[in-house]
Amino acid sequence: MNEYLRRLVDKLNELRERRRAVILAHNYTLPEIQDAADFVGDSLELAIKAAETSADVIVLAGVRFMAEVAKLLNPDRIVLHPDLAAGCPLADFASPQLIRNAKKEHPGAPVVIYVNSYAAAKAESDYVVTSASAVEAVKRLETETVLFAPDKNLADWVQENNPDKKVIPVPRNGHCPVHEHLVSEYYVRKAKEEHPTARVLIHPEAPRPARKLADYVGSTSQMLRYIGKTDPRGEYILGTEEGLAYRAKRLYPEARVYPVSPRTICIDMKKVTLDKVVASLESLKPRIEIDPVIARRAREAVERGLELIGKKPK
């Protein structure tokens, strides 16, 4: 760690104690963010941690919808998002009107929305799920037809694992650009050629042809647990955003871990930097604020999604 980062970390630690703050970071964030955070995890784990925290201030190092979820579960706490410009192209596919139109076209079908969506869209939905919980949550629904927004590839993965259901993607073409284009069959095959003995772990946001080449399909934290249970000294190709490789190497220093491509970078995730986290804690801005009516309805959808998998917020 260079001197500049060391000074930032010292300042961050002082502010964290003074503000009674907790820093929650996603697995895709910059290495120095992961090192400084109180907790690093996937979307499901971050939601659960946000629901359980007793901190006065929550700093969400990730993209904006993650900070919104933290605020939904902690309406009376200060939730900071160090860079409001850190959005999510996948979340942009799901507008409130899109969800309303889908419900009109398929009356009676519940809307299951991926956590990678904004609060206004969540408010129009019935259940909020994550990549780790989506398959099990849909399995537990009693209805045969399910509307799933906004990721077509995750919807396809849910369909594969729930053959007795009819899972309709809303919209038809919703996707994460990183997983759709850079965790493609081409890049997975190329990585396998470069590392022929490596196990391939793929995120369910990737297209089906890529997933078919995987030894394991799961969320970021499910991939990490797979490495720990299978062989902490083994060789792995990670078919997701490249930030997970750093996390895997920290947890399993003897493992050989490679991103499926060095180009699998989510620009939005990298917008949250350590100096922005420090500035946010210093000024207690930018704060996440959500319209109370939207917040109540979205929070209910988040809580119903957690309850479906037995993770009812405390």
- Which pLDDT belongs to residue 47? 85
Q: Is residue 53 part of a domain?
A: yes
Q: 16's torsion region: left (phi>0), alpha (psi -120 to 50) or beta?
A: alpha
Specify if 313 maps to a domain.
no
- The pLDDT assigned to 79 comes to 97
Instruction: Provide the mean pLDDT of the chain.
Output: 96
Q: Is the pLDDT reported for residue 314 higher than 60?
A: no
- pLDDT at 21 exceeding the cut of 80: yes
81 and 12 in one domain? yes
Both 8 and 72 in a single domain?
A: yes
Q: How many domains does the chain have?
A: 3
Range of the domain at 84: 3-88+269-289
216, with CB counted inside 10 A (0-12, 13-18, 19+), is middle
Cβ atoms of residues 79 and 280 within 8 Å? no
CATH number at residue 118: 3.40.50.10800
Q: pTM score, two decimals?
A: 0.94
**H or E element: which one contains 175?**
none
Query: Max CA-CA distance within the chain?
Result: 59
**Do the domain assignments include residue 300?**
yes
Looking at the fold, whether 107 and 184 belong to one and the same domain comes out as: no
Do 183 and 144 share a structural domain? Answer: no
DSSP, res 287: B
Q: Would 314 be classed as within a structural domain?
A: no
Same domain, yes or no: 199 and 261:
yes
In the structure encoding, which two tokens stand for residue 52, read together?
Answer: 């359980």
Whether residue 186 is predicted with pLDDT greater than 80 in this model: the reply is yes
- Taking only the tens place, the pLDDT of each residue in 39-64 is 999 887 898 898 899 999 999 999 99
pLDDT digits (tens, 9 = 90+) for 85-126: 999 999 999 999 999 999 999 999 999 999 999 999 999 999
